[in-house]
Amino acid sequence: MADDSKATENHSITSDNNLSLESGNEVSIDSLARQVQESLSLAKKHKFWETQPVGQFKDLGDTSLAEGPIEPPTPLSEVKQEPYNLPSPYEWTTCDLDSEDMCNEVYVLLTNNYVEDDENMFRFNYSKEFLRWALHPPGYYKSWHIGVRVKTSKKLVAFITGVPAKIRARDTVVVMAEINFLCVHKKLRSKRLAPVMIKEVTRRVHLENIWQAAYTAGVVLPTPISTCQYWHRSLNPKKLIDVGFSRLGPRMTMSRTIKLYKLPDQTVTPGFRKMEPHDVPAVTRLLRNYLKQFAVAPDFDENDVEHWLLPKEDVVDSYLVESPETHEITDFCSFYTLPSSILGNQNYSTLKAAYSYYNVSTKTPWIQLMNDALIVAKQKDFDVFNALDVMHNETFLKELKFGPGDGKLHYYLYNYRLKHVLRSSELGLVLL
């Protein structure tokens, strides 16, 4: 595979613990537990997480434990009413992203301090439009967008967020918080701010009578419900090689590599077009029907589909296939825009990456549908198209010349136990 991508993105640009998947991607519980135990040197024991209602490594494989909430809800009157104490130089602030100044502060903090790859070559660069989209879904709580300021200078130095989501775990739909954008200024990483921030966002979630959460991380914590692999499809191979995202394959020249990844100029599927507002009901039906087959997936209604999937310039793109004969909506594909800053390169400052979001194939073969998605991403000047091996994505990754990255993404549920670690193909959930 010519595209041996070094950097892989989203919450981990690379993972610090590659869990091997055994016997055709079946995760052996014993081997997972063993690898996890080995990876936790005594110095790295998760003191914080061992106090939290999350699956613990010691319980892996214990099928006597029931699925569902680990701890029952507390009466709301017993939820702590005041914020947790921060170290004395710092104070809490609630971040109103409708305010241009505040949105700018959050953008600057994340742009300079959020996730980087292990070699410090790339760093996420979420746009302000993206942040507003990600943090303002239907029913969002402003109080869940939490910042930490320095009292004296008022400088914003840390951030964490939650948004409400309905997530189905097997047959049960649970209102959860999706926790994201945990970011502490590089100079304050030793101050132990992160555990206080996690406790504070948890407290604010509890105040809304919500007791479960979902989150992802590039590192192994107690205990992943699933571990997914990032795959990358070069759209602009020369640039990717020039900036060190990819390497030239053995016995490959640049011109052969460019030829290898060349895509047609136009999409091929009859009736393939951009999603429009009037498509929301049909897309909702299609997506709900598709997501039924996965063990963990969002429970989207029309308001959610309108928010998350209606195209938004430079944020999210969605396309569907409308049968030219019956006008039925049969297939759907979508991707969101998450550029990375390229650090220390004279010629390029931004890597424009598309991330596969929700895709449904009922009539158009997967490979044809997703090749059309690659073609429109290329038309829009994306450099790379990234996808996790969740849902049915494995059916097209190799065929469409995606290469495995070196990043893993671990999925977690807070205060909710699943009996078995899920294969990535059993997961129907994509978190931003």
| pTM for the model | 0.89
For residue 299, the one-letter residue type is: D
Give the closest residue to 86 by CA, choosing from 206, 192, 203, 182.
192
Fold exhibited by the domain 54-215? Aminopeptidase (3.40.630)
330: which 2 tokens?
């049969």
Q: Which residues contact 325 (CB under 8 A, 6 or more apart)?
A: none
| Domain residue ranges in the chain | 54-215, 227-426
CB 185 within 8 A of CB 157: yes
137: which 2 tokens?
């879904």
How far, in Å, CA of 318 to CA of 335, rounded? 7
Q: Is 255 left (phi over 0), alpha (psi -120 to 50) or beta?
A: alpha
Helices (H) then strands (E): counts for the chain: 9, 17
User: Which regions of 138-197 does DSSP assign to beta strands (E)?
Assistant: 145-150, 156-169, 172-184
58: helix, strand or coil = helix
Catalytic positions are 432
Write out the chain's pLDDT in tens, 432 residues: 333 333 333 343 332 233 333 333 445 565 555 555 555 443 455 678 888 989 888 887 787 888 999 999 999 999 999 999 999 999 999 999 999 999 999 999 999 999 888 888 999 999 999 999 999 999 999 999 999 999 999 999 999 999 999 999 999 999 999 999 999 999 999 898 999 999 999 999 999 999 999 999 998 898 999 999 999 999 999 999 999 999 998 999 999 999 999 999 999 999 999 999 999 999 999 999 999 999 999 999 999 999 999 999 999 999 999 999 999 999 999 999 999 999 999 999 999 999 999 999 999 999 999 999 999 999 999 999 999 999 999 999 999 999 999 889 999 999 999 989 999 999 999 999
Which residue is associated with the tokens 């132990």?
192
DSSP string, 248-309: PPTT--HHHHHHHT---SS--STTEEE--GGGHHHHHHHHHHHHTTSSEEE---HHHHHHHH
- Cα 423 to chain centroid distance, Å, stands at 17
Is 227-426 in the same CATH topology as 54-215? yes
Pick the CATH number of 227-426 from 3.30.1330.10, 3.20.20.70, 3.40.720.10, 3.40.630.170: 3.40.630.170
